[in-house]
Structure 1
């Protein structure tokens, strides 16, 4: 653990930053515990932070705590949440990240103010983050996230998306990317790869399935799982597949978004989402294909609204070079 000593933050500094874990500073709660906002002085700058405080009453979480620190301390990407540091002192385990002011994507799924262009850009941002995790050049390992859902996608002041929630992530050698990894079945209801649910095996394509569910949420303006709905409408993924097969996806797209969509873009986006959530993981696209299609969708959508040239902010050549010779099942 000495590897991470440079990231240690004294408990008294975090207590001061969060006003001694004041209830008014709570901004969320997950399986890990409460999340507190605050301001922390680091290197002479006062920065906004979120502090995730492990709930020790559950008697677990140590492994997840160190997994997240290990993973995040090795990552640097504009679409991945920034790790500021951690506290492991006096029975407390706290992970400190840079605070993303707008909260999580789940808060905006039904909000038409998050327009179709913004939603396409969020989709591309998360696809970029996953591409970086799965096959970034220069790393001798791949990362399978395993916890992708609309609550672990955070939004900054400009609604730029940041992927978080790395406590269940797995590192795997890049030369083993075509192999299955046996693991405890972990995930959020509505987002889990059905093949993982059956066998416990995960691959990068398990992340693709969860990402496909996110695309469905973004398009339909609803959550992946609605417990109080009828059986036919409870889970979004099978509902989206059914409508796509029947060419009736317009029926489940958020009506305010439908009015903003170029028809060809909506058709392509719906098909891509459903390709990602195919039950047979071998049939799912990889992130190279997904990024090409999403960037093309954004370009087409912008051109249908503003008929001027658009330059992609995405180095496709670099991404193809990163993936050469690295096949994903």
Structure 2
């Protein structure tokens, strides 16, 4: 049976089209597993154009998945931002529920690259800024008339395109809230992935947009340290309390990814770590606002780029000093041993 919700009518995609796009949900097209079911890659004809898509197929055994399915459709239908995945449409036909988005994860999810020495400090900073801008849009954009509390920020829901630009996904448990009430607590059970869940939820019995800030702070430390938020068999299973301890003891460098230490400027690290610590430390009221986070992370990038420029200039100066010495050496050799 097909949905009759008028608001979403223009987004409906026939099941036959999705089956053709994914080769009948062929195993070879599986690219991941979302919280609601398997995700398939495919190619779909849309408005005369062949586009590459991701199709999240709701697992029929997933209890309560129907509510989460419609939450995600509802959220994505309203959200338009370069750092948020774009919905193509959905299928609600013949007991199948499928969310179709543009294929954004050409470089997988952030989680897959946390420990990679190939992901540079510059790339990591730009990923952080992109996610922060997406959060600022969710929390403050006045064009919608309401804010969005994501409640599922983690390194798995941050996808990376071919240019390593982040695309935020995973809106299945998101909440809409009036912009002037984003500070107010919405009664809720702890929601999210272990290691990222705001500890204030249990204390206040609810969430605010600052719950997203906490989760993002954990991601910031994941990116800095090159390790996951939760490592089951590790002595320090949870990254957040470890990061707080190391920061307060001025021993943060001990847990930073070794491949990054020689890349980062001291000032960019200082700005970045202060932001990350602000996001996860103490009560919600002490957490930095999203817009301030964007501004500070942009400063961290500027500081790092200035540092790189200075290093490049120093390298050129060293080369310029070496060249005359080499010239005079060659001149002396020719003088001593004329041809």
* Post-superposition offset of 1:97: 0.7
CA distance in 2, matches of 1:174, 1:274: 26
1:4 aligns with 2:8: yes
Match of 1:35 in 2: 39
CA distance in 2, matches of 1:116, 1:252: 15
1:267 aligns with 2:264: no
Count matched residues. 306
Match of 2:334 in 1: none
> 2:185 touches 2:204 (CA, 8 Å); kept in 1?
no
Residues 47-96 of structure 1 deviation map (CA, whole Å, 9 limit, x = unaligned): 11110000011232111111111111001100000000000001000000
Give the gaps of 5 or more residues in structure 1. 309-329
Q: How do 1:241-320 residues align onto structure 2 when only pairs under 5 Å count?
A: 241-307=244-310
> 2:268 touches 2:303 (CA, 8 Å); kept in 1?
yes
> 2:158 touches 2:168 (CA, 8 Å); kept in 1?
yes
Q: Which one has more relative contact order, counting CA pairs under 8 Å at least 6 apart? A: 1
Match of 2:233 in 1: 228
Match of 2:205 in 1: 200
Q: 1:145 aligns with which of 138, 141, 150?
A: 150
* Post-superposition offset of 1:43: 1.1
Moved over 4 A (4+): none
CA distance in 1, matches of 2:29, 2:204: 41
CA distance in 1, matches of 2:294, 2:310: 22
> 1:215 touches 1:273 (CA, 8 Å); kept in 2?
yes
Match of 2:321 in 1: none
Match of 2:163 in 1: 158
* Post-superposition offset of 1:138: 2.3
* Post-superposition offset of 1:265: 1.4
Residues 195-224 of structure 1 deviation map (CA, whole Å, 9 limit, x = unaligned): 113443111100000000010001001100
CA distance in 2, matches of 1:94, 1:190: 29
CA distance in 1, matches of 2:222, 2:202: 21
CA distance in 1, matches of 2:61, 2:201: 29
CA distance in 2, matches of 1:58, 1:132: 30
> 2:34 touches 2:56 (CA, 8 Å); kept in 1?
no
* Post-superposition offset of 1:176: 1.2
Match of 1:14 in 2: 18
RMSD of aligned Cα (Å): 1.2
Residues 155-211 of structure 1 deviation map (CA, whole Å, 9 limit, x = unaligned): 111000010000100000112122111123210000000011344311110000000
* Post-superposition offset of 1:277: 0.3
CA distance in 1, matches of 2:202, 2:94: 38
* TM-score, structure 2 normalization: 0.88
Give the gaps of 5 or more residues in structure 2. 312-339
* TM-score, structure 1 normalization: 0.91
CA distance in 1, matches of 2:85, 2:35: 18
User: Which structure's CA Rg is the greater one?
Assistant: 2
* Post-superposition offset of 1:307: 4.4
Match of 2:120 in 1: 115
Q: 1:104 aligns with which of 106, 109, 114?
A: 109
> 1:194 touches 1:279 (CA, 8 Å); kept in 2?
no
1:86 aligns with 2:80: no
